[in-house]
Amino acid sequence: MSKHKILLYSRPREMGEEIIDEPIEDGFLLTTDHQYLDEAAAVVFHMPTLTRGDKVFHEHRKREGQAWVFWSTECEAHYEWQYEPRILSLFDLTATYKMDSNIPVPHFHSHYPEILRRPPAPKQGFINAFISGTPDKSNRIGYLTELMRYIDVHSYGKVLNNKVLSGDEGFLTRSNIISGYKFTIAFENAIAPDYITGKFFEPLIAGSVPVYLGAPNIEDFVPAEKCYINVNSYSSVRSLADHLLELDDNNEKYQEYLQWKKVPLRDHFIRKVGRLGDGNPLVELCNMLKSRMEN
């Protein structure tokens, strides 16, 4: 039986490097071969790797019945052209970090309720930072620069670096380092509703307390009470620094920020995670395509 093709016109970074006609669900095949642009049941556009001038947005006529999918886990603040009405009108489905997308692809996963329960490791360090990217729509670099005037932040990233990172194996190395610190700088590169990335969740998993700068609706995504520190709760960078120093000196007060590991997670967080199903957004896309074909 011939399979309906889903074409990755441009490949989302979170997907494997090598994709050659891979089956997804019964009746569906994933491909990156542009020769199938006209016959594919759906075409997925990873928008951050494209430009406003890409020919497909101006010269290609979408086949009747074909679904175009707008896919992005990056903040719209960095790609404002993508949200122009003329561009958005080309698409039938959205797969973004926003929870109101047709297919939400947030920066948390269906297995988080289990891995968030991992007990915290003993702490040897005070506070660390991992910032290597230069995009900065949130003034995170300016904020961190001032914070470092008042407290000793161990910065392992390329930005404001003062600690050597040897044997870097990505997430595993970062997680091991973070787990040994009481606090972790968790500053997003842009500020927008629902844009909450691994900057927030990785410290929680590792058992460090995120010091968060980012989404105005962060509370909608917080898994438990008193598990993080929001910089917007402080009148100045200095007042935040003073509070962090106070917690560093008072272990009993600091431990209050780790007690959430021992209690049930918030219901609304569990419901959000439940929306992700088995965690594979491509399977969800296949289910939506099946429904469109039957109607």
CATH topology for 112-272 is: Rossmann fold (3.40.50)
Which residue would you say has higher pLDDT here, 20 or 171? 171
Which amino acid does the sequence have at 210? P
Q: Which of 26-30, 49-53, 153-157 has the highest mean pLDDT?
A: 153-157
What's the pLDDT score for residue 50?
A: 95
pTM for the whole thing? Answer: 0.93
What's the pLDDT score for residue 175?
A: 95
Name the strand (E) or helix (H) holding 147.
helix 140-150
- Distance between CA atoms of 211 and 124, rounded to whole angstroms? 18
| Domain range summary for the chain, segments of one domain joined by + | 4-106+276-294, 112-272
Which residue would you say has higher pLDDT here, 114 or 2? 114
Of 80-84, 196-200, 243-247, 278-282, least confident by mean pLDDT is 278-282
- Distance between CA atoms of 203 and 211, rounded to whole angstroms? 9
As beta bridge partners, residue 45 has 10, 70
DSSP state of 167: S
Three-state DSSP at 210 gives: strand
Identify the band that residue 1 occupies on the pLDDT scale cut at 50, 70 and 90.
very low
Which class in CATH covers the domain with range 4-106+276-294?
alpha beta
> What is the percentage of the chain residues whose pLDDT exceeds 70?
96
Which residue would you say has higher pLDDT here, 150 or 172? 150
Of 6-10, 199-203, 212-216, least confident by mean pLDDT is 6-10
- Distance between CA atoms of 14 and 263, rounded to whole angstroms? 32
| pLDDT, mean over the chain | 93
- Distance between CA atoms of 190 and 140, rounded to whole angstroms? 8
Question: Which sign does the torsion angle of CA 247, 253, 254, 257 carry?
Answer: negative
| Beta carbons of 46 and 8 less than 8 angstroms apart | yes
Q: Within 10 Å of residue 183's Cβ, how many Cβ atoms? A: 26
Tokens for 287, please give them. 């289910």
Helix, strand, coil content of the chain in percent (nearest 5): 35, 15, 50
Q: Residue 284 burial (CB < 10 Å; 0-12/13-18/19+)?
A: buried
- Distance between CA atoms of 221 and 98, rounded to whole angstroms? 12
Q: What is the mean pLDDT of residues 157-166?
A: 93
Place of tokens 């269906």: 110
Query: How confident is the model over 57-114, as pLDDT tens digits?
Result: 988 889 899 999 999 999 999 999 999 999 999 999 999 999 999 999 999 999 999 9
Which amino acid does the sequence have at 172? L
How many residues in the chain? 295
Question: Which sign does the torsion angle of CA 61, 1, 17, 188 carry?
Answer: positive
